[in-house]
Amino acid sequence: MGAVNLKQIAQRAGVSLATASRVLSGSDYPVKDDLRERVLEVAAQLDYVPNASARVLLRGRSSIVGVLVGDVSDPFFSGMIGGIYEVADDADYMVNVVNTFREPGKELDTLRRLREQRVDILIVAGSGLDDAAFTAGMEKSLAAFVQGGNAAVLIGHHGISDDVHAARVHFDNREAAREVAEHLRELGHQRIALITGDPRLLSTRDRVLGFRDVFGDRVIPVETEPTRDGGYEAAGTILSTRPEVTAIASTADQMAFGTLVYLRERGILVPNEMSVTGFNDIDVAKDFVPSLTSAHVPLREMGRRAMELGLQGLEGDVDDIEVMPELAIRASTGPARK
Amino acid sequence: MGAVNLKQIAQRAGVSLATASRVLSGSDYPVKDDLRERVLEVAAQLDYVPNASARVLLRGRSSIVGVLVGDVSDPFFSGMIGGIYEVADDADYMVNVVNTFREPGKELDTLRRLREQRVDILIVAGSGLDDAAFTAGMEKSLAAFVQGGNAAVLIGHHGISDDVHAARVHFDNREAAREVAEHLRELGHQRIALITGDPRLLSTRDRVLGFRDVFGDRVIPVETEPTRDGGYEAAGTILSTRPEVTAIASTADQMAFGTLVYLRERGILVPNEMSVTGFNDIDVAKDFVPSLTSAHVPLREMGRRAMELGLQGLEGDVDDIEVMPELAIRASTGPARK
DNA sequence: ATGAAAGCGCTAACAT
DNA sequence: ATGTTAGCGCTTTCAT
């Protein structure tokens, strides 16, 4: 029981702990070849793997980046995570992703667990939340983390005070939403429905605001699960209660897919009878039928940049960057029906 | 610099290290209320978070499950990972996912890093590989890991000797492929192309075998990147070089999507002029146009079961389970054109 | 009820 | 060139 440790290697090889360590830790300290070989052989034979905990304890650095997301299997997050991995891998960092399962109450908890692991870098990708106690807890935790000599990166997470010395990857959700809305307005739409996920999420809020900037009261918000099925259901509600609507927007592509499927099943033509828009522009959006008009969010790039900022943060320079929305106009939107 | 530690808490609170530990580690050891409160207060004030490394070192258990996958952002893996998280979360386990980026050479490396972290449970989800040295390395590493009192779970990873005391989640790729092939044969197809990813992957191999069981030499394998773009490209190659083909199968849905898009752009009717099949049946497959006939692989369930097996493995009982393929017949397949 | 001290596995400073 | 030892942060005996 228990993994093989250095002491066992040293004993078997008939050398001191220090010698074994010097050989196996990649130190450039000189060790005679015959001893070195003996150590190496025993280590290989027993398949010795050093204990990272002990090393971390000693060094105070873990080479682990902790990532806080809502749900790893959501393409929105897994895109970002993919970007993080790319950079982390080159920098020899392990990536430790934790799920909050979109339960905001859990976020503080998981953040703490990541801190317990003594991650060097913390990337918070879950959206902010409109909740004072939560925000305060978050700020305190992040401040203490950074205070401890680590780097924190917030992705699209405003609501956290600038006093927290964290790098940020900004994405202007409101502006992106405005572009989508503007596109619909130009097509002559007057009354639109907007399917949203949890309205307490700041990203959702901002997206709603963007639509309101253009449509004011003429946007009808419908709250649902942020999934394909949620969008499917919401579309049904909208059609039966709001016949005046000529376009259905969503705050995430998955919901728009659900809406498109619903419309397809009902034989309602898109975009002739109804326009549909998504948000985030995940990979399949362009291949869906009809291809989905969506606010493109450069997820992979955001992940990459976040990780780069984290690495820089360790060196002491905390930076802010902004990635730009870009409206992807496709086949799911057209002139409002008469 | 450096995170706050117990010693600092103890000093500030004017108590001994032991007392501080007893209060903060949730021990049921009795501590007078006034001291307890003082410690708690100081800890809250400084936002103390215990060092997991130290704890792991002491306890020998990390409550971390390590997961080895090809690529986190691939829906195939992220589905499984989602399942793992569900169970891990309930068991208070952290999930540490590492990417091999589909570079088989990296697998041994990443496995080692996970072992360094002293994960209690190891779930290997990347496919096996037809490479003796690789397999031997894998076996040795896993054996040593289990020997150390941990639990290993292999998902669809045959090729690893039964001597390795690992739990397994089996999925019969060959049988699943056979079902797809059989379906095509029944529709009258005689000549089919099969788009595959890396043929060194055992899962790919098995799927190819399943098709060969039914079609023998009449299946034309085409190797490409296991992505949407890879499938798109491969479709082009097939159409220009193999006009006799009446159906294009793929060993993963993403490639089939690419194929469908290519055919759509060329105005080739599916399934009238060409049938298309996928594999894995990821979420969007049913909503694609045309909806994709695919071998359904219960990814989420496999993840859940794997994690359950891992937890059981810690208790010493190593089990094998098998999940069943189920052919999802949809609109992308039809009778062979004349 | 409290504190002192040993020790988890490892590295690095310090002898020899 | 090799070995001995202190100590990273914590929990848990073992005194008191």
Q: Does domain A173-297 have CATH number 3.90.650.10?
A: no
Scanning every strand, the nucleotide with its C1' closest to A60's CA turns out to be: D8
- Between CA B115 and C1' D11 the distance (Å) reads 23
pLDDT band per the 50, 70, 90 thresholds, residue B1: low
Q: Which residues of A touch B99 (CB under 8 A)?
A: 85, 89, 95
More confident residue, B72 or B318: B318
What percentage of chain A's residues is helix, strand, coil (to nearest 5)? 50, 15, 35
Neighbours of A83 (CB within 10 A): 22
Confirm if A223 and A240 have CB atoms less than 8 A apart.
no
CATH architecture of A6-50: Orthogonal Bundle (1.10)
- Between CA B64 and C1' D5 the distance (Å) reads 32
B89 Cα to chain A: minimum distance (Å): 9
**Over residues A268-287, mean pLDDT:** 97
Closest CA to A154 of A73, A78, A69: A69
Q: Could you tell me the two tokens for A6?
A: 């250095």
Nucleotides of D under 7 A from a protein CB: 1-5, 7-13
Residue A84, pLDDT above cutoff 90:
yes
Neighbours of B86 (CB within 10 A): 16
Q: Could you tell me the two tokens for A139?
A: 């700020």
The pTM of the full predicted model, rounded to 2 decimals, is 0.94
Q: What is the pLDDT of residues B98-144, one digit of tens each?
A: 988 888 778 899 999 999 999 999 999 977 888 899 999 999 999 99
Out of A18-22, A247-251, B157-161, B175-179, least confident range: B157-161
Nearest protein residue, CA measured to C1' of D12: B18
Scanning every strand, the nucleotide with its C1' closest to B31's CA turns out to be: C1
Q: Could you tell me the two tokens for B276?
A: 């298309």
Confirm if B115 and B98 have CB atoms less than 8 A apart.
no
Q: Give the C-alpha distances (Å, rounded to integers) separating A303 from A100, A108, A114, B14.
A: 18, 21, 18, 44
3-state secondary structure of A157: coil
Asked if A64-172+299-325 and A173-297 have one fold, the answer is: yes
Contact B95 A97 (CB under 8 A): yes
Per-chain mean pLDDT for chain B: 95
3-state secondary structure of B283: helix
Query: Which burial class, exposed, middle or buried, applies to A173 when counting CB atoms under 10 A from its CB (0-12, 13-18, 19+)?
Result: buried
B75 Cα to chain A: minimum distance (Å): 7
Scanning every strand, the nucleotide with its C1' closest to A56's CA turns out to be: D8
Q: Which CATH number fits domain B64-172+299-325: 1.10.340.30, 3.40.718.10, 2.30.30.90, 3.40.50.2300?
A: 3.40.50.2300
Which residue type sits at A336?
Answer: A
E strands within chain B? 64-69, 94-99, 121-124, 151-155, 167-171, 192-196, 219-223, 247-250, 275-280, 293-296, 320-323, 326-328
- Between CA B142 and C1' C12 the distance (Å) reads 32
CA A310, CA A306: separation in Å to the nearest integer? Answer: 6
pLDDT band per the 50, 70, 90 thresholds, residue A243: very high
Q: What is the pLDDT of residues B152-161, one digit of tens each?
A: 999 987 789 9
Per-residue flag: A25 CB under 7 A of strand C: yes
Domain ranges of chain B: 6-50, 64-172+299-325, 173-297
Out of A143-157, A176-190, A230-244, least confident range: A143-157
Q: What is the pLDDT of residues B187-231, one digit of tens each?
A: 999 999 999 999 999 999 999 999 999 999 999 999 999 999 999
pLDDT band per the 50, 70, 90 thresholds, residue A1: low
Q: Which residues of A touch B115 (CB under 8 A)?
A: 3, 49
Per-residue flag: B6 CB under 7 A of strand D: yes
Phi, psi for residue B71 in degrees, rounded to 5: -160, 115
E strands within A100-225? 121-124, 151-155, 167-171, 192-196, 219-223
A218 Cα to chain B: minimum distance (Å): 30
